[in-house]
Structures are given as structure tokens and as C-alpha cells.
Structure 1
Amino acid sequence: MTLTETRPRAGAPTTSAPDRRRRAWAARGHLTAAGLLTLAFVSPIYLTVVNAFKTQDQIIRSPSAPPVPPTTQNLTDALGRSDKIIQIGLANSAVTVLVSVLLIIPLGAAFSFWLTRRPARFRRIVLAVFAAGLMIPPAVVLLPTIRILTFLHLDHTYPGLILANVGGGYLSFAVFVYSGFLRSIPHEIVEAAEVDGAGRLRTWWTIVMPLLRPATATVAIFLSLWIWNDFMNPQFILGPLRGQTITTGLYLSLGQYTTNYAQLFGVMFLAAILPVAGYLALQKQFVAGLSTGATK
């Protein structure tokens, strides 16, 4: 081997051994951090699933152990409760989520479409106002919301709860998502519809809304999960004696002195079925909406 063959080629990057070791340790550190973060998110789901099929003694003895042997008695007991916590809670939560989302989506999409036709300065001011709806904690505006609903005679009612959902930060989130997505739609499409004689309402409904399907799926999934998991609004707006969603039902199922963990995990497992099924059904559109909003 000649001396020239052992020399690195001109312009070729060289990496020293310490640099390679640092990169290897950095890659391992990133992998370890990602694994710990994933474990932190997955562990509650794992505990809920495995303990839903274990007896009370098995849960107390070893909560993290797999169910050996598994049992479905917890699910049967949860469905057979005399207070019908699963049936009533799931039905009330499903109706609340469905009506709230069906109102927020067209309102948010229509307002965002109208906002895109306004001057940029006006649009920035309006979006800044809507940003306050996302930044202000819900607990801060809960008391004024209840006072408004009391004035309208809608306190302790499901229409009042739905109105609070529509007028809260959920609408602000929908406006932000739709406004960002509408920037990716060419203005020539809307202008062509107007040239053909279509009005603003018809253009929005027949041209714009079908193009907003990925954004609509994103908004629907986020809002459905947030409203489904909401505890504070149903607890204070409905009250414990006037209504019951699945989250307030879970709270009421906790015993004051003792808790039947087996039945409680069965209730939580059944309460999570509908949101997971909805996400799996819309996940393709959900990912498309996120990727489009990130690149435009």
C-alpha cells in the first residue's frame, strides 16, 4: 500500500473518534428519552386495560401485572349497575359531543372563510381576540359563563352546557385551524365560483367545505376528545343532581371510604371505547389535516 492510498481524499469530511462517540451517545440519549416519554404516555392506558380484566384482589396485590386469568366480570358489573352510570353517561356525553361539534364546525368554517376575505390587518386583530379564548384558563371564565346561563335560564340544562361549549375556547381552536388551512386553498377556485354566479353561502358550502375535509377531521377529533373528557363544565353547569356525563359519572363512582377498583377500571375501559373508535375511524384525515397545516 502506498502513502498516497492512506491519505483521505481532498474535500472528503473526516470524523474523529471522539466525535463519533459523542454522536453515538447523543443518539442513545435521544432514544432513551423517547422511550421514557412513550412509556409515560402508554403506562396509564396499559394499567386501565390490564386492570379492567382483573379481580379486586389481583389489582391490590399487583396493579401492573397482566390479568392471569382474565375475567370479564368487571365489565358485566359496570354495565349492570343500578344507577346506569355507563348507559346514561355514555348517552349524555355522546349527545353533548355530537351537538357541540356539529354546531362548532360550520360556525368555525363559515367565520374563517369570511375572515379570509377581509383585509390582513383586520384579520390579525380578530385572530388576536380569538387567541385570548385559547390562552385564558377555562376556570377563569366559568363563573361569568354560569351567570350568563342563569340570566338566560339555561343553567343546569344540557342546552346551556352545549352553548358554553360553542362559545368557549373550542370555537377559537376551530377558527385557528380553518384559517390556517384556508390559506392553502387557491383564491382562484373561489373567484371562479363567483364568476359562475355562485353566492358566498353556496361557494362556502359546495366549494370550500369539501376542500376542508382534512381540517374538519382534525377539528372534530380534537373537540370531541376535549368535550368528552371535560369534567369542570358538566360538574358546575349541570350540577351533580341535574345531569351526568361519563366523566362526572366516574367521579360519582368513587367511594367515600372504599373504592371497588375492579368495577372502576371496568367503567373507565368502557368509557374509552367510543373515543378510541372515533379516532381510529378518522385518523387518516386527521394526519392529513395536521401535515397540511404544518407545511402551508
Structure 2
Amino acid sequence: MTAINDVLRSRARLVIAGVVTLLFVAPIYLTIVNAFKAQSQILESPEALPIPPTIDNLSTALARPDGLIQLGLQNSLIDVVFSVALLIPLASAFSFYISRRKTKARAAVLALLAAGLMIPPQVILLPTIQILTFFGLDHSYPGLILSNLGGGYLSFAVFVYVGFMRAVPNEIIEAARLDGASGLRIWWGIVMPLVRPATATVAIFSSLWIWNDFLNPLFILGPLQGQTITTGLYLTIGQYSVDYGQLFGIMFLAAIVPVVGYLFVQKQFIAGLTSGSSK
């Protein structure tokens, strides 16, 4: 009887795992297959394979007179690259500082940063816009980039870095100090190479979150500077009808950049996950 129950539980877990996997894979599958199908084929059977496949959706999206794809990708890349380029050194330097503090002080700082992860971004959106307007940074790339440095992005980066930097032996830090190395040199020349998997993890997750962000670019950047690729998708949805072929084509093109970026840093990302699981 016990053996039968074990078999049933094993099969139930397998079924649940299959359903969960299907829920994650289904949107990706639908985006890929429908990006290469005509509008009539999508409406008739959205889950069917593209037979015969067509690239009209991609060519039409790239040939839009408003340059939605080109400008959207450009704006999104500017937002992601500058935000992550500032987030990583700021978060890592602050994490190195607090990781060497006493336990109570470190716990208090981490508890304060935890609020950045628990407060929904929608709650602080209006105060953020008011602050940016006061400093004249609304409807600008600097304003959008600065808004990305606060809240959950910085908190997440600090939590990741602190976990890795606490594992750096104190003997290495003390030896560097005895050799006359400054705190800045120890952080950048010794600690940062040791926590490279953490940097890859922060870069991947932050880049994806910023790339997929909709509210901040919509309200902070605004139409005066153009749309990011995410807010540009909103323009393809008409009031009375939707060109699903073009919509899926733009979604497919918008997903290429994050996938390529992940392939470049996947080894460090996997090393970070493996290292974190063994701590």
C-alpha cells in the first residue's frame, strides 16, 4: 500500500510539474509561432504551427513609419545600459561597506532596504514624478535612470551582493590593507572579481526588470522623448481592432535583445546560482 501511495505521489508531482512548465512555456510558444503567421491564421488557430511561415509581420514592424522598433529598442537600451552601469558599482560599493559592519548594524540596514522590495512600485510612482519635476528631470532619460536606481532594484542588488561579500575571507581583506591597498582598491581590484557571479545575477535580473518596465517609462519618460519597446507595444493595440500579426512580430523582436544578453552572461549567472545553493 505504501509503494502504491509513493507511485501516486510521484505521478502527481510529475503532473503538477508538467502543468507549471506548460504555463511558463505557453506564452513563449504562442509568441514565436504567431510571429510567423498571417492575421487570419492567428485568429483561426493561434496555437497551430506557422504552416507556411511568413516574415511579413517582422518586415512590417521594422518598416513602420514611426520607427517604433528602432526607436523603442534604442530607448530601452539607453535606459537599461546606463541604469545597470550605475546600479552595479553603487550597490556593490555600499554592500562591501555594510558587509564589513557589525551584525546589528548590518541587520538594521538590510531591514530598511527590505522596505524597497515590499513596497509596490505603483505606490511611489507619483512621489517619484513629483521629485523629478522639482529638479527638472521629468520627461528625460536622466530622470528615468535615476528612478531605476532607487526602490526595489537597489535593494535587490544589495541583498545579492551582501550575501556573496560576507563569504569573502577577512584574511584577504586584511592582507590587502597590510600591503597598503586603499578601501577603493580592495573593493574594485580584489572583492569585485571574487563576486563576479553576483554581478552577473544582478545585471541579468535588473536588466530584465528595467527592460520590461511599463509604468516608469510611460509616466516619467513620456511621449516627448519617445517610447521604450515595452510602452511601444501599447501603440500597436487599436481602440477597435488589433493587428495580432504585427503585435506578435514586435514582441518577438523585443525579446531578441534580452535573450542575446543572457547568452553572454549565462555562465556567470549559473555559477552564481550554484554558489548560492551551496552556502
TM (norm. structure 1) is 0.93
Provide the alpha-carbon RMSD of the alignment: 0.8
Name the CA distance, whole Å, in 2 between partners of 1:157 and 1:144.
16
Q: Which residue of 1 aligns with 2:133?
A: 150
Instruction: State whether structure 2 residue 271 is matched by structure 1 residue 288.
Output: yes
Q: Which residue of 2 aligns with 1:160?
A: 143
1:167 Cα deviation from its structure 2 partner = 1.8
1:119 Cα deviation from its structure 2 partner = 1.4
Q: Which amino acid aligns with 2:252?
A: F
Q: Which amino acid aligns with 2:237?
A: L
Aligned residue among 179, 191, 201 for 1:218: 201
Aligned length: 279
Instruction: State whether structure 2 residue 6 is matched by structure 1 residue 23.
Output: yes
Q: Which residue of 2 aligns with 1:131?
A: 114
Name the CA distance, whole Å, in 2 between partners of 1:113 and 1:258.
53
1:238 Cα deviation from its structure 2 partner = 1.4
Instruction: State whether structure 2 residue 263 is matched by structure 1 residue 263.
Output: no
Name the CA distance, whole Å, in 1 between partners of 2:223 and 2:235.
9
Q: Which residue of 2 aligns with 1:88?
A: 71
Aligned residue among 227, 235, 238 for 1:252: 235
Q: Which residue of 1 aligns with 2:102?
A: 119
Instruction: State whether structure 2 residue 257 is matched by structure 1 residue 274.
Output: yes
Q: Which amino acid aligns with 1:190?
A: I
Which one has a bigger Cα radius of gyration? Answer: 1
Name the CA distance, whole Å, in 2 between partners of 1:40 and 1:277.
23
Structure 1: 4+ residue segments shifted above 3 A: none
1:29 Cα deviation from its structure 2 partner = 0.4
Name the CA distance, whole Å, in 1 between partners of 2:144 and 2:93.
22
1:107 Cα deviation from its structure 2 partner = 0.4
TM (norm. structure 2) is 0.98
Structure 1: gaps (5+ residues): 1-17
Q: Which amino acid aligns with 2:268?
A: Q
Q: Which amino acid aligns with 1:290?
A: L
Structure 2: gaps (5+ residues): none
Q: Which residue of 2 aligns with 1:44?
A: 27
Contact 2:214 2:230 in 1 (8 A): yes
